[in-house]
Amino acid sequence: MAVEVVYRSSRDLERLFMDKAEADRHDRMLELAEKLAEVLRQAQPALDERQAEELGIYMAKHRELFAKAFRNQTDALDELLAPTGA
């Protein structure tokens, strides 16, 4: 019988990871998303909790691109824009 080690995210109990580092990265991303959602809801109270959570997760998943944009490299966000078909 083979034994397989898996790691569970402490913030997302349904996801399993084969690598501890990957589980840790996922936890950090969710932690950032939670904080972003909190800030977004404070800035825009009309956002409901689900919308703020989805936006926070989106921004956290793409944090490197947003970080570049905040450092005056706004074209970094072009990667997130859907291509416009003619």
Q: What is the pLDDT of residue 31?
A: 95
- The secondary structure of 13-51 as a DSSP string is TT-EESSHHHHHHHHHHHHHHHHHHHHHHHH-TTS-HHH
**Total Cβ atoms within 10 A of residue 85:** 4
Domains (range + CATH), the chain: 28-80 (1.10.10)
pLDDT in tens, 12-44: 878 888 999 999 999 999 999 999 999 999 999
Nearest-angstrom CA–CA distance, 30 and 11? 7
pTM for the model stands at 0.80
Q: What is the pLDDT of residue 84?
A: 61
Q: Which residues contact 11 (CB under 8 A, 6 or more apart)?
A: 26, 27, 30, 31, 34
- Name beta bridge partners: 7: 17
